[in-house]
Amino acid sequence: MPKMKSHRGAAKRFSRTGSGKIKSAKAYKSHILTKKSPKRKRGLRGTRIVAEVDAPRISRMIPYK
């Protein structure tokens, strides 16, 4: 059998933790930052764990990560 291909867009955005959960960066931190409050921008720093309902779908897109 041939190897499965990773979804390259997903592979750049998601990674796995040591326990196998999927982590990602938070959304809405890339542009139009002038109208967002400092408190809101601070909250968008760092990473988050993807919701459990979305994890199987993302997991299929990144089979080897």
The model's pLDDT over 21-49, given as tens digits with 9 standing for 90+, comes to 999 999 999 999 999 999 999 999 999 99
Tell me the per-residue pLDDT of 55-64, one tens digit each, with 9 for 90 and over: 999 999 999 9
pTM: 0.84
Q: What pLDDT band is residue 65 in, cutting at 50, 70 and 90?
A: confident
Long-range contacts of 12-20 (CB under 8 A, 24+ apart): 14/50, 14/58, 14/61, 14/62, 14/65, 15/62, 15/65, 16/62, 16/65, 17/49
